[in-house]
A = this chain, B = another copy of it.
């Protein structure tokens, strides 16, 4: 009889049912590639009445899989943080392998799981469902010190930014379209504000740098404040804007951050449009390599879940203690937010009168920030008919500038001082510029 690997599936939603379906549909190739038949013994759902067409045996009690001695692997696809973490702990304590797509739970508990595990833990599906980036970092690039990771980790944000940058849409129309197409949730907050991307970046940073950090400890900014003027400025200077997760080595420390970034239109990441995800990794020997694919979707994510199951079936996935694949006696440290270095784009709304530029320049200079490019134009709202006098006191000017490299604390200081100027009419907006 064919050797079997039996799994318990907790959560049979979009991804869970795709896992069951693909295990069935691609049984021929999966068995050929492992010598083992992978079988879902039972799926756990919240409300069994809602799954009338299920093709696998269902139950509402997680205990039925967690404590079933015949089950070799628990696949957790229920989401949430603490409840899922609890299930992981029980699964590991029962000496079952554990496979998860749960990035939020791993963003908080990946090191605790690694420490307690004596069985394999697979989490390829937790970062960019359709891109095997976990295995690339653990295996393919294992000879490298990773110098930088720059990644488009959230499809919803990338869809919105693509519409804004390529087709001139405004933020809210693009968001509405994304929701209509099913790319964005009814409540898109975690996608838009960078939290979802941060969860994924933390997992990648652990693989690349062995860094234990939580979302609260890193710089996270979303795309909500971007305006079409920012997009235009970017285009004018050869940039496009992407929501990037960035992990970068500086000496023995690591910068970790999520924010909208201006990147040169020629960089590979600049060409990634729509809901697609992509991860650029720079290794000290391999140089840059880029991984591109679907970031979400039931079948793409299921493909990654099953790749972990196959690795387990082959006996190739490391036992506990090596989940994150990186162990060094000298752990790297995280650079505090305020010491992050970048160049910046700054948008300032000011009164259009003499002396304004001087005052703004003085603030920047006092904070040791030097200007790289500068653009001033009358604000849209204050455009006046051709016959009005240019000394009108209500005239407003938009000042757009970019800086040379400086620190986060210098720019934040400068922003406060700028906002306090009487001639500045609103809190200035910044976008970080990411040079390759």
Contacts and interface: CB of A to CB of B under 8 A. Distances in A.
Interface of A: 18, 22, 25-26, 28-30, 32-33, 35, 124, 130-132, 135-136, 139-145, 268, 271, 283-294, 297, 299-300, 302-304, 306-307, 309-311, 314, 316, 318, 325-330
B143 A306 contact: yes
Given A136-B135, A144-B303, A130 B328 contact: no
A131 to B, nearest CB: 6
Given A26-B285, A291-B291, 17 more contacts: A29-B328, A33-B325, A130-B289, A131-B289, A136-B140, A139-B139, A141-B307, A143-B306, A271-B271, A286-B300, A287-B293, A288-B293, A289-B292, A289-B293, A289-B294, A290-B293, A316-B318
Contact of A307 (B142, B271, B291): B142
A288 to B, nearest CB: 7
B327 A32 contact: yes
Given A142-B307, A271-B271, A306-B143, A33 B287 contact: no
The A contact surface, by secondary structure, is mixed
A293 B132 CA distance: 15
A286 B135 contact: no
A292 B291 CA distance: 6
Nearest to A268: B292
Given A124-B140, A139-B307, A299-B287, A145 B294 contact: no
Contacts of A29: 144-145, 328
Copies of this chain held together in the complex: 2
Nearest to A294: B287
Contact of A18 (B140, B285, B304): B285
Contacts of A284: 25-26
A302 B25 CA distance: 38
A58 to B, nearest CB: 22
Contacts of A329: 32
A124 B139 CA distance: 11
Contacts of A32: 326-329
Contacts of A286: 130, 293-294, 299-300, 303-304
A299 B285 contact: yes
A306 B284 CA distance: 13
A282 B19 CA distance: 18
A30 B327 CA distance: 10
Contacts of A306: 142-143, 285
A164 B26 CA distance: 43
B139 A135 contact: yes
A143 B316 CA distance: 15
B268 A307 contact: no
Contacts of A30: 142-143
Contact of A33 (B25, B35, B142): B142
19 contacts: A22-B143, A26-B145, A26-B285, A30-B143, A32-B326, A32-B328, A33-B326, A33-B327, A35-B327, A130-B289, A132-B141, A135-B140, A139-B310, A139-B311, A271-B271, A285-B302, A286-B300, A290-B293, A291-B291
A351 to B, nearest CB: 44
A142 B291 CA distance: 17
A103 to B, nearest CB: 17
Contacts of A25: 284
Nearest to A302: B285
A291 B132 CA distance: 10
Nearest to A128: B289
A297 B287 contact: yes
Contacts of A293: 286-290
Q: Which of A135, A139, A268, A330 has the most CB of B within 10 A?
A: A139
A132 B139 contact: yes
A300 B288 CA distance: 9
A362 B330 CA distance: 75
